[in-house]
Structure 1
Amino acid sequence: LAGMAPAVMAGETVRASVPWIPALGLDASLFLDPLGLMFAGMILGIGLLVIIYARFYLAAADPMGRFFTYLLLFQGAMLGIVLSDNVLLLLIFWELTSLSSFLLIGFWRHSAEARQGARMALFVTGGGGLALIGGLLILGNIAGSYDLTVILQQKEAIQASPLYLPALLLILGGCFTKSAQFPFHFWLPHAMAAPTPVSAYLHSATMVKAGVFMLARLWPVLAGTEAWFLIVATTGLVTMVFAAWVALFKDDLKGLLAYSTISHLGFLTMLFGLGTPMAALVGVFHIINHATFKAALFLNAGIVDHEAGTRDLKRLGGLFGLMPIAGTLALIAGLSMAGVPPLNGFISKEMMLEEAAHTVWLGQPWVFPVLATLGATLSVAYSLRYIVHVYFGPRRDDYPKAPHDPGVGLWGPPAVLTALVVAIGLA
């Protein structure tokens, strides 16, 4: 991937193709453009950090071989989604991510909670995947080709077609279920029964971003219509505010981070829904920012759970003196999530508020700016709640375990992500 990056950044599209079903003229074709390069880089980069972290996180009794098999199956399927040119191939990879995430969420099969979370995720995202199959087949039918590169050239034909609206609704069904948009958001908090490395990987960089990736990938041909704006931007805005409000009242660290993730996915969906090139650019930028600070925070929650023996906010506090390294990393990543300068989360949040300020919704100029500001304000509140309740305040004498900083195997991966949070912000 790194070897092809310079050519792609210079504007070239790298392609590879193998005859698949020649009788139907179908090729298994892949292509690498800047959007695919960015996502593939995140999937592989954060994936590597998560694999290192998982090696030190899992207990000796956990079957490591099975864990890494599932994780790499998932990683390969995600890579397939972002690099596929043929939509049928993309759909196979799309359903593979649902199946492999089912195996990952239910990894601790002795836990009833993990089994239920896995079934729920499979049911919701698998069902949405069936809708996506229908939508993409309609698009291919209108464009006269199942190659994405051809479909993406056919904006006028697709938007003029009487099948545009059914295709749009089916595709959005697939995107919204995968990216946990309201009212399909409920599966994501249940997926927190998975081991923390899985939560960090599935819920920051990859699985839940697959839906946002599809919105970004198909943005050139689907965006710009009234239907797109009303459905996508409104759903994103509602999800952003609702989930941020719920996150504020969660006492489980991973529960708080799960709802904050749903809120940020709403933030991204709203930006792509606005339909303007600048809003889409901000959306792509925030995908990178969110992946860095949210993966760092999930890994940090795993460290707290591992070293203090609990993820319950009510049983934590005063850990900064006992765990200065973990505390410093959480502080930087948390402030980025809150949007504090000069960190990367601040820049994309400011750009989002600028876009929302100029958005008129059903003739009303105030709805979007007010709700977007409310969502942004709530993100400051839940970020501070995480930092303050875990690391500051009086030290306690009743932690389940004696907390101390872990070895470099656990704090190293979030430290790399936290360094990126600062570097991107300063750059």
Structure 2
Amino acid sequence: MARWAPLYYEKPLEIVSGRGRRVVDGEGRTYLDFYGGVAVNLLGHDVPEVCEAIEERLRTGVLHTSTFYLARAQVELAERIAERSGVGDPAVYFTCSGTEAVEAALLAATEYRRSNRVIALDRSYHGRTFGALSVTGDRRWQGSGLTPLDVAFADEKEDLGAFVAAAGPESVAALIAEPVQGVAGAVPLAPGRLESARDELDSHGIPLIIDEIQTGWGRTGRYWGYQWHDVHPDILVFAKGVANGLVLSGVVGRRDIMESLPMASLSTFGGNPLSATAAVATLGCLDAWRLTDNARRVGRHLRAQLDRRLASAPCVESVHGRGLLLGISFIRPGTGEPCPETARQVQEECRRGGLLVGLGGTHGNCLRLMPALTLTALEAHEGSAVIEESVHAALRKRPWRPPERAARDGSAAEAG
């Protein structure tokens, strides 16, 4: 495996089975899963309705045909997504990963506007390939910084409308934004942030690309994360939980933009019959079980629990996010500096307590919580208690202290 593909934990964890919001590792230990395969397991693990749909598809013996042939599940899925997207006169294109979907959106927008100039937001994350990385504002992921696009990044303090106006709007191909910046640590865009650019974008015909890869399908407590803002996307990018663990992503955009490509294009595995079948079943459960409402309700409960339990912890800067997309940021007590060491230690302590959480944040100093949307209030209470205990365990170990200082103080570990 490539060295730059990291594994969590000092002793890497193998997950071998799961049901609901719980998974079992290779040693037989059970964990409450607050990471959900990086927000992919939307309904949880071993969901009968999804498993049965997959098994029925398997029995046909045809798992792949390519996009050169009709696939009933793909068409049905496209209709559902188009109807719920909020995009005018929508056209859908299926891909295999969030990154590939972002690339498709950028391709359509730049062809439509005949320009490679894109406006993106500081601290954003849109994927791992050449074009997607070029519109990623989180510097940790940019590598050499080489890019095929001419990108202007707006920081969180800048008025987006004024920024678009100053960027030469006649030549701007698109503005791309996440409603909640997930990799940055589940940081919601400030109220009015997207709205401030709306008039400038509309007056110059600049497409707004909304990246719903982490925020879509009800995770924030609304069906789409952009619905927390008074805007509508021209292009919407989706992925993650749509097929509850199977590989599927895509773009839904205005037909005039999507059909501006002068050449034919296809994604060999995009919207394959197996994944599309799983996605139709997943979205059916999402609606039937009112999981958007559950994400909003249980997310508020979890947030309130964390706010209360962590209020006195000097290493916790804030709890933030929306719905069941939350982050906890850590600082060095007394300095206010971001402390990734504490975040990593708390993650390890959570594992010891039977809870799986992720890491993130612009400085690597955040825990990321993205449990299945079927999470119960009781499980939220259980998980928040483990996080509280883990934070206090990390405080006793004081991971932010320089190693040489800790070595001089031989009683540090015992004294806490």
Question: If the length of structure 1 is used for normalisation, what is the TM-score?
Answer: 0.28
Q: Which has the higher strand share?
A: 2
Q: Which has the higher helix share?
A: 1
